[in-house]
Amino acid sequence: MLTSREIIETLGTKFGKQILKAEEKVSNQVFVTIVPDALMPVVCFLNQALSARFLINAATDRREQDGRYTVSYIFSFDREKIFLCIQVAVDSTDPNIGSITPIIAGANWSERETRDLVGINLRGHPDPRRLVLADDWPQEIYPLRKDFPYDYKPPSEPQNKVPLKKPPKGTKVIPIGPFYPVLEEPAYFKLFVDGETIVDCDYRGFYSHRGIEKMGDSKLTYNQICFIAERICGICGFIHSTCYCEAVERAAGIEVPLRAHYIRTIMLELERIHSHLLWLGIAVHIIGFDTLLMQSWRIREPVMWLCEKISGNRKTYGMNLIGGVRRDIPSSIYDEIVRVVERIERQTKEVIDAVMDDTSLHVRLKDVGVLTKEVARDICTVGPTARGSNIRIDSRVDHPYAAYDRIDFEVAVESGCDIWARTLVRLKETIESVKIVKQCLLEMPDGPIMGEVMEEIPAGREAICCVEAPRGEAIHYVLTGQDNRPYRWRVRAPTYANLQCVPHIIKGERIADVPIIVGSLDPCYSCTERMAVVDVRTGIEKICTKEEVIKR
Amino acid sequence: MFISKLKQALICLKAGRVTLPYPYKPTAPPEGFRGRPKIDIDKCIGCAGCANVCPSRAIEVTDFDEGWRRIQFHLTRCISCGRCEEVCPEEAVRLTDQFELSTNTKEDLTVAIEIYMDTCQRCARCFKPQHPLDKMMVTGFRK
């Protein structure tokens, strides 16, 4: 078990003068500044010798402060409960940096995003195509630079369309998308098939950018961002707002009352219950088992009503603010909460008992979409996708937030590596969440629900927060700034990490299994694509008017 | 397999019909529901605190005709977060339990109030007169 001090010392003795600065800015969060040339060896050392797990990187335009860009690579030491942030300053006249994707495959998207949005060129990236920006976005215009106005609409340049991969010899192309029919979300998969078998695939997504990060650092204030963060995802909204709030609170050193922590924990777990039941319904709907869809959604509905009663809305709770929560859970409804979650536990167990021996489910789910432990590690997958492949990571335990450091629960891990294993992980977690909610209600202390917030949050502080969403861990990095708003706010949703493993897990499978394999990751495209700025319509696409639709 | 299917059938039978007859029968939201905000013109002092905190910029404040302030709630943008209710010093904004807001005319979803304010002699910005009776003295009070 390394401590923060030992990590700093280890890096110091190994790399000596290449480490420019190292400090523990927030408890258990180490920020290390290194010279650009040392990036490769440091990342190699962290990944191989210290087995740190890569989370995201975030580029910040800091030309106003010191005339340079900063790229932060965030790593996690899971057992040690420590975040390590490696920062590199990049010269602004010719911004370029060596790519770490050859060492860590999971850094692929994150690095391309840095290039697309802040304009830091990558040396040695294996797949340097455009990822985040729209097909007709002009070259050399980078939306997350500070000199780019948030409402600027650049002229369309359709010639910049991203070339998709050429199909391998002897294969046919089958497109799925751009509107993915099964999950009712925009994503485009181009499958290369040989007969029925998938040989390879290419993905083009990021159709639903909404420029949330740009809004956050140019227009909104700290407390307004809580609400837009909640709208990053339609299912795990509260997770994002909690994650953002905790990141700001950690950066600014704001004490949050214990009761507020407990209330956040309860809401997070209620959200996990309804998300997992929703996923179960959709997953079995994909394979045509609608009976279970109806039943799992029926079981889910009372949670939504309960949340509506607690927060005033069934999905967007709007309860988080910097420093605490806005609504208390009155003791008069404790009993009702217990009753509802216990009924859900009972009914979920009944359903599990009924479908466990259903051979038609086994045929569709067992040994399909196999994600081996090695690939899962390499791609840096998170959440149930990783836990189904026998990787014991759960940020509720690894990086405790809210009141999770006071709560006992088990992390569900399965070693099957297939869709069935991921299903079992989610079902076990649903039952575990019920326990957590009940334990919270028992232990929740009385007291204030909103902490004291200082008049102004000081600029230049930074912190990371990691919250375990039903799909995996959501990560928010916040660098505080002037004018009551963050200077940089970087969001990574769990699907961002998980979706990158799709080419690996559909290789060798049959076409008919693709929907359920992709569905087994519980993908959430709007989460993943929270970013960029303008609309994504290319010049080629035609938009139908209402009248035209009616005429058809 | 067969037992499994029997168990599933039993679960379905036990659950029975659970769908609600909405919209044929109205459903009442629970207490504390966050519906559309409603503004009380008699209580509003035109401080524009609500417009300041609104995350979705649904509240627009414009000054016109020397001393008149128009506050518009664009409900098409409103996310019913209730921040306006929270910060209002006079409790003039309240969230109602109305949630059925669909309409064919978009203008229906804009609520505007106009209140008379005094103009500051030094900075020429509006402020609410000191005494509530003062506004009765103004001709054309409340258009």
Chain A residues in contact with B83 (beta carbon < 8 A): 223, 227
User: From the list B4, B29, B81, which residue is nearest A355 (CB)?
Assistant: B4
Rounded to an integer, the average pLDDT of A86-102 is 92
Quick one: pLDDT at residue B140?
47
> Do residue B32 and residue A360 have CB atoms under 8 angstroms apart?
no
Band of residue A159 on the pLDDT scale cut at 50, 70, 90: confident
In a domain? residue B13: no
> How far apart are the CA of B120 and the nearest CA of chain A, in angstroms?
27
pLDDT higher than 50, residue A10 = yes
> How far apart are the CA of A67 and the nearest CA of chain B, in angstroms?
32
- Within chain B, strands assigned E span 37-39, 59-64, 68-74, 93-95, 110-116, 118-119, 126-127
> Do residue A227 and residue B8 have CB atoms under 8 angstroms apart?
no
Nearest chain B residue (CA) to A326: B86
User: Which residues form the domain of B66?
Assistant: 34-136
Nearest chain A residue (CA) to B31: A309
Q: Could you tell me if B48 and B96 are in contact, meaning their C-beta atoms sit under 8 angstroms apart?
A: no
Q: Return the number of CB contacts < 8 Å for A and B.
A: 76
Rounded to an integer, the average pLDDT of A525-542 is 43
Q: Which of A148-152, A188-192, A254-258, A491-495 has the weakest average pLDDT?
A: A188-192
Tell me the one-letter amino acid at B70.
Answer: R
Tokens matching residue A214: 């740009």
CA atoms within 13 A on the CB side of A301: 9
Residues A414 and A303: their CA atoms lie apart, in Å, by: 27
Tokens matching residue A327: 């609504």
A253-258: Cβ within 8 A, 24+ apart: A253/A461, A254/A322, A254/A323, A254/A451, A254/A452, A254/A453, A254/A454, A255/A451, A255/A452, A256/A323, A256/A324, A256/A451, A257/A324, A257/A447, A257/A448, A257/A449, A257/A450, A257/A451, A258/A403, A258/A445, A258/A447
**Each residue's pLDDT tens digit in chain B (143 positions)?**
789 999 999 999 999 889 899 889 988 899 889 999 999 988 888 888 899 999 999 999 998 887 788 999 999 999 999 999 988 888 899 999 999 989 999 889 999 999 887 777 777 666 666 665 665 555 444 44
Residues B81 and B72: their CA atoms lie apart, in Å, by: 17
Q: Domain containing B84 — which CATH number? A: 3.30.70.3270
The pTM assigned to this predicted structure is 0.91
**Residue A234 or residue A475, greater confidence:** A475
pLDDT higher than 50, residue A458 = yes
Rounded to an integer, the average pLDDT of A23-30 is 92
> Do residue A301 and residue B18 have CB atoms under 8 angstroms apart?
yes
| B7 at interface of A, judged by CB pairs closer than 8 A | yes
Which DSSP state fits A399? S
* 3-state SS track over A100-168: CCCCCHHHHHHHHHHHHHHCCEEECCCCCCCCCCCCCCCCCCCCCCCCCCCCCCCCCCHHHCCCCCCCC
Rounded to an integer, the average pLDDT of A454-458 is 82
Quick one: pLDDT at residue B142?
46
Quick one: pLDDT at residue A167?
86
In a domain? residue B4: no
In a domain? residue B18: no
Quick one: pLDDT at residue A539?
32
Closest CA to B67 of B110, B20, B126: B126
Tokens matching residue A490: 């970087």
Residues A521 and A282: their CA atoms lie apart, in Å, by: 12
Closest CA to A232 of A460, A493, A521: A493
Chain B residues in contact with A231 (beta carbon < 8 A): 79
In a domain? residue B49: yes
For the A255-452 domain, the top CATH level (class) is: mainly alpha
> Do residue B32 and residue A358 have CB atoms under 8 angstroms apart?
no
Tell me the one-letter amino acid at A431.
Answer: I
Quick one: pLDDT at residue A205?
82
Hunting for tokens 């040690």 — which residue is that?
A80
Which DSSP state fits A74? E
Residues A8 and A16: their CA atoms lie apart, in Å, by: 11
Backbone angles phi, psi at A24, to 5 degrees: -95, 95
Chain A residues in contact with B30 (beta carbon < 8 A): 305, 308-309
Tokens matching residue A57: 């990187």
Query: What percentage of chain A exceeds 70 in pLDDT?
Result: 94
The ranges assigned to domains in chain A are 255-452
| B42 at interface of A, judged by CB pairs closer than 8 A | no
> Do residue A358 and residue B55 have CB atoms under 8 angstroms apart?
no
> Do residue B82 and residue A291 have CB atoms under 8 angstroms apart?
no
Nearest chain B residue (CA) to A216: B55
Rounded to an integer, the average pLDDT of A257-270 is 95
Phi-psi region of B132 (alpha: psi -120 to 50; beta: other; left: phi over 0): alpha
Residues B92 and B83: their CA atoms lie apart, in Å, by: 13
SS3 state of residue A468: strand
pLDDT higher than 80, residue A427 = yes
pLDDT higher than 70, residue A548 = no
Quick one: pLDDT at residue B127?
65
Interface of A with B (CB under 8 A): 220, 223-228, 231, 291-292, 294-295, 298, 301, 305, 308-309, 311-313, 316, 318, 326-327, 350-351, 353-360
> How far apart are the CA of B89 and the nearest CA of chain A, in angstroms?
17
Quick one: pLDDT at residue A390?
94
In a domain? residue B117: yes
| ipTM for the assembly | 0.85
Q: Which of B:95-114 have CB within 8 Å of A?
A: 95
> Do residue B12 and residue A294 have CB atoms under 8 angstroms apart?
yes
Rounded to an integer, the average pLDDT of A236-257 is 93
pLDDT higher than 60, residue A367 = yes
Structural domain count, chain B: 1
| B133 at interface of A, judged by CB pairs closer than 8 A | no
pLDDT higher than 50, residue A544 = no
Chain A residues in contact with B32 (beta carbon < 8 A): 309, 312, 327
Query: What percentage of chain A exceeds 90 in pLDDT?
Result: 65
| Residues A306-364 pLDDT 10s | 999 999 999 899 999 999 999 999 999 999 999 999 999 999 999 999 998 899 999 99
> Do residue A220 and residue B79 have CB atoms under 8 angstroms apart?
no
